Amino acid sequence: MNSLQNKKQNTINLSPPSLLALGFLGFILTGTLLLKLPISHHGELSWLNALFTATSAVTITGLSVVNVGEAYTTFGQVVIMFLLQCGGLGFMTFAILAALSLSSNLKLKQQMMAQEAIGQTSLTKVAFTIKGVLLYSLFFEALGTVILTIAWMQEYDFSRAFFYAAFYSVSAFNNGGFSLFPNSLMSFAGHYFITFTISMLYIIGGIGFVVLMDIKRTRRWKKMSPNSKLILSTIAGLNLLAFLVIWALEANNPLTLASMSLGDQAVNAWFHATVPRSSGFNSLDMSSITDASSLFTIILMFIGGGSLSTAGGIKVGTFIIVVLSVITFLRRSEELRVFNHSVSKVTSFKAFAVVSITAILVFLGLFTLLILEPNKNFLDLLFEAVSAACTVGLSRGITSELQPASLIALILLMFAGRLGPLTLAYLIATPKKTRLKHPPADIQIG
């Protein structure tokens, strides 16, 4: 009896958000130590720079204070690639996969933790979904590696071409944004094969694994779930709109698209239109785009990609539910409908909560940066704060110029941005019911 009591006392009961936070923190600290090893870098590398790189990789952001291709050795770059993979698939995915390898059936508590971590509503789908996450990741990364190896073999020997291909496939599919070239992908702005392959990798990775599995299972638009239809149609609409807007805004900019041929303009407008959804690569000089393009890019970064994907932001589903909720209210309709299905008010509340919390996080980050960097441009700092909080990785070129305190603020933003939606999902998924009812209050709005 005493032994059972001692076991209960020694057992640490942590909530799923706590486990996720500790898991990501463990990856970050491990990555920091590995990157600080002499075998991982050339010359001197401060502890802060190692921590910043590890945090950026685990949170699949892509911001960097050093040139990854020059500052880190091949071993260090492999460490970054491993951290990107761990961050993309998520600590909880690895944890549940480890449990599955030991036992074919998960315990109820493990299933609940996994359910809350990956956003599934059915416990029976947890193991199936996580296996699908791993298989889809490995498949698309392997496919991308093969295609990019063939493309880069025109300029490099096989071993270097293969390493570049593997690194960029992992970085792109996980929406990491880390590049081994000093100017990201600007040198390949006219290489359609490379830019298109990388763009497809981060778009597929940002759609969401549940949607990908639904596509494979149904194979027909009519049979897809309302969620999959909504996500796919919204992503397609946003990509097309962003493509047209960016092209129109930058077509006459001599520092970006104006000096390119029509074909190059189209490719790079497409690349920049889809990149802000969380990828972090750039084929155009971000510091040279117009202020209007920068503001539009900030909006795209805030939206992000699909749920249960490698992308960040508030997520596409959240964005479109908020938009549809506003439209439904303006039309004085009683019911929010999506593809002939009703959407509960609780879902709308969740969407507005996610948007509000993310906006508060961005505001706090921007406010801190404005205090610490009074001489920096407001738009540059806003761009940096949104990029970090929404784990995108794009920058207007000021990351390496920030002081240590500002880098620590960005580290906290990246970490909070990665954990925020997961923590919020857990808090919302465990409502506290009460029999006590209160009288209604008439509150004036607007």
Q: CB 335: neighbour CB atoms within 10 A?
A: 9
Which value, to the nearest 10 degrees, does the dihedral of the CA atoms of residues 376, 313, 30, 110 take? 160
Does 343 reside within a domain? yes
Kindly give, in sequence order, each residue whose CB lies less than 8 Å from that of residue 128, ignoring residues fewer than 6 positions away. Answer: none
Return the pLDDT at 22: 82
What one-character-per-residue DSSP string does 60-89 give? T----SS-HHHHB-HHHHHHHHHHHHHHHH
Does 7 reside within a domain? no
Answer for the pair 321, 347: CB distance below 8 angstroms, yes or no. yes
Return the pLDDT at 372: 97
Return the pLDDT at 95: 56
Return the pLDDT at 9: 47
Tally of domains within the chain: 1
Does 238 reside within a domain? yes
Residue 57 Rama label (left phi>0; alpha psi -120 to 50; beta): alpha
Answer for the pair 113, 19: CB distance below 8 angstroms, yes or no. yes
**pLDDT tens per residue, the chain (446 residues)?**
455 455 444 445 666 667 777 888 999 999 999 999 999 999 899 999 999 999 999 999 999 999 999 999 999 999 999 999 988 887 656 655 555 554 455 555 555 555 555 555 455 566 677 777 888 889 999 999 999 999 999 989 999 999 999 999 999 999 998 999 988 888 888 888 899 999 999 999 989 888 888 888 888 888 898 989 999 999 999 999 999 999 999 999 999 999 899 999 999 999 999 999 778 898 889 989 999 999 999 999 999 988 878 888 999 999 999 999 999 999 988 889 888 889 888 889 888 988 998 999 999 999 999 999 999 999 999 999 999 999 999 999 899 999 999 999 999 999 988 887 556 555 545 555 666 667 777 675 66
Return the pLDDT at 126: 64
Partners of residue 91 on adjacent β-strands: none
Does 442 reside within a domain? no
Domain housing 112: 15-428
Does 8 reside within a domain? no
Return the pLDDT at 33: 97
Return the pLDDT at 8: 45
Does 435 reside within a domain? no
- Which three-class secondary structure state does DSSP give residue 285? coil
Does 3 reside within a domain? no
Residues constituting the chain? 446
CB-count exposure of residue 71 (10 Å: 0-12, 13-18, 19+): buried
Chain-centre distance for alpha carbon 245: 23
Does 394 reside within a domain? yes
